[in-house]
Amino acid sequence: MFKSLLVFIAATLFLASFHHAPESAANEYIEQYKDLAVVEMYRTGIPASITLAQGLHESNYGLSKLAIEANNHFGIKCKSWWTGKTYFHKDDDFDANGNLLESCFRAYRNTVDSYVDRSNFLMQSDRYKHLFSISKDDYPSWAYGLKESGYATDPQYAQKLIEKIIRYELYKYDQSEDPFRHLLKD
């Protein structure tokens, strides 16, 4: 009886810690990459809140296989012109018979390269060009614009980004000071 009770308590504690794991992982992810998201916002005009929400979502809080093994935090696929490192895993590409294929994803030396490449990818693609006329303070329009432009196949993509922005108060990073302001004073 006592042994069964201990097993039950251990299992309950394990499940409780697992339930809180995404919250803890989200907070750790935000703390680790918030400054990088702000730097990218001032470099490109992409809201830091959108960058962090996409990073959280696409990388499963930095815990996905793609993020861990390929440093790809945004799920960016190779495309025909990609000449960098690659990483293959099954995602959402099918052959003519409906069989799931391994998709080619971009692989990076480090997470900074993933963040920079994602920003460049959005800036250099005609399908996302219209987003850059949206204010960095208008994260809902950015979220819906990314979805409408085909960034993700999930019909709830924009709502999921917005939910993360609100839940983790990521919008506050859109109001961050320019990290390069001191360089401009010299």
Q: What is the 3-state secondary structure (H, E, C) of the chain?
A: CHHHHHHHHHHHHHHHHHHHHHHHHHHHHHHHHHHHHHHHHHHHCCCHHHHHHHHHHHCCCCCCHHHHHHCCCCCCECCCCCCCCEEEEEEEEECCCCCEEEEEEECCCCHHHHHHHHHHHHHHCHHHHHHHHCCCCCHHHHHHHHHHCCCCCCCCHHHHHHHHHHHCCHHHHHHCCCCCHHHHHC
* Residue of higher predicted confidence among 21 and 24: 24
Report if residue 11 sits inside a domain.
Answer: no
Q: According to the model, what pLDDT value does residue 89 have?
A: 83
* Per-residue CA distances from 106 to 11, 69, 78 (Å): 39, 11, 5
* Residue of higher predicted confidence among 49 and 98: 49
Report if residue 90 sits inside a domain.
Answer: no
CA dist., res. 24 & res. 20, Å (int) = 6
* Per-residue CA distances from 100 to 60, 70, 89, 90 (Å): 21, 21, 10, 7
Q: What is the mean pLDDT of residues 79-93?
A: 85
45 band by pLDDT with thresholds 50, 70 and 90: very high
122 band by pLDDT with thresholds 50, 70 and 90: very high
CA dist., res. 6 & res. 33, Å (int) = 39
Q: According to the model, what pLDDT value does residue 12 have?
A: 45
What CATH number is associated with residue 169? 1.10.530.10
85 band by pLDDT with thresholds 50, 70 and 90: very high
Domain extent at residue 179: 25-67+109-185
- Characterize 24-60 residue by residue with b for buried, 16 or more Cβ atoms within 10 angstroms of its Cβ, and e for exposed: ebbeebbeebbebbbbbbbebbbbbbbbbbbbbbbbb
Q: How many domains are there within the chain?
A: 1
Report if residue 77 sits inside a domain.
Answer: no
Report if residue 62 sits inside a domain.
Answer: yes
Q: According to the model, what pLDDT value does residue 6 have?
A: 44
Average pLDDT, the chain: 88
Report if residue 177 sits inside a domain.
Answer: yes
94 band by pLDDT with thresholds 50, 70 and 90: confident
Report if residue 82 sits inside a domain.
Answer: no
Report if residue 159 sits inside a domain.
Answer: yes
Q: Using the predicted structure, report yes or no on whether residue 148 has a pLDDT greater than 50.
A: yes
19 band by pLDDT with thresholds 50, 70 and 90: very low
Report if residue 43 sits inside a domain.
Answer: yes
93 band by pLDDT with thresholds 50, 70 and 90: low
Question: Is there a contact between 65 and 91 (Cβ–Cβ < 8 Å)?
Answer: no
